Amino acid sequence: MALPLTALLMNVLLPILIMVGLGAVMNRRGRIQIDSLNQLTIYLLVPSFLFQQVSTSKLTWNDIVEITWGSGLPVLFLGGLLLLVYWLRKYPSSTTSALLLGGLVYNAGNFGLPVTQLFYQSYPGLFGRDPDDGVAIQAMVIMLSNIAVWLVGYVVIAWGKGQGLRGLFGFFKLPMIYTVIAAFIVRENSLSLPAFILEPIKMLSAATVPVMLLTLGAQLARNARWPEWRLIAPTMAVKLLLLPALTAVMAWGLGLWPWPGAQLTIAAAAPTAVNTLIISLELEGDSRTAADCVFWTTIGSFVTVTGVLMWLAHTGGF
């Protein structure tokens, strides 16, 4: 299916840019409290979204295993390679941890999710799949990404600060893992929740994308600055080019192409997760480098994600 560039920009990326821009304007005017939005997102919106998507998902356990392998193997391979490079260059451990997360942990939620929703809604039938199938896979990627960014992220940055594994315990204070377990229990046992519980979950889930986009814009506006390109440019290349390319190649090699490999490639093309900055601030890591990774990969992603979407749409995944 051929997608004109203008249609792709107007239907998929422009709505996201407008929401991000509104968040940035609100932050500049001092009308938005980023810390409050972060707490709202972490403790209410993302758990509600994950519960809604996982509990109603039609993905089989084989699908979930494939998604885990398809999204996890490229990250593990590049992680080992980057760790060796940074060690040979004798980067400080705090900077190494920020660059590792900046190059490998992608924004599956407040960037990848709206891109996925708008892409498949605008062009249904792509890859011969229902539009909801792409969102279901992205929900699983969000689940894996949340586990990675809060579990692995805590450990990596705590290691960079010389704190060992103490940061690991912060992960278990968060609701994500418990929400996912509860959602699988509901799904596997075909449980029906009462309306007074289910309806608030649905409303919070529906609010997740717009609030996350506004938060992303506010965070970008707060952390905008000219970076140290010696560090950031290679990280941008890894995050925006190498990781999605490797994801596509490994998905093909694992027999996951075109589905779910195409959607995993879209997910991998997203910029650095904002949560990497939140963790860096909380653990007093190299937050300046983390902020630069988030800001500049987000700016660059509007070019690279457009390229990935056009390539997949024009080729139909083949």
Q: Give me the pLDDT at residue 1, please.
A: 47
Mean per-residue pLDDT, 262-274: 90
* Mean pLDDT calculated for residue range 131-159: 74
Alpha-carbon gap, residue 250 to 245, rounded angstroms: 9
List phi, psi (to 5°) of 106: -100, 160
pTM: 0.80
Average of pLDDT values for 166-189?
A: 80
Residue whose structure tokens are 């195409």: 262
pLDDT (tens digit per residue) in 79-115: 888 888 888 888 887 788 778 888 888 888 778 888 8
pLDDT(74) > 90: yes
Fold of the domain built from segment(s) 5-313: Na+/H+ antiporter like fold (1.20.1530)
**pLDDT for 31-61, tens place per residue?**
677 778 877 887 898 789 889 878 888 888 8
> How buried is 12 (Cβ within 10 angstroms: 0-12 exposed, 13-18 middle, 19+ buried)?
buried
DSSP, res 263 = H
Map out the domains of the chain as residue ranges: 5-313
The per-residue pLDDT for 281 is: 65
Q: Does the pLDDT at position 261 exceed 80?
A: yes
Per-residue pLDDT, averaged over 256-282, amounts to 83
CA 251 to CA 258: how far, in whole Å? 8
**What's the rounded Cα separation, in Å, for the pair 187 and 60?**
11
Residue 152 has pLDDT above 70, yes or no: no
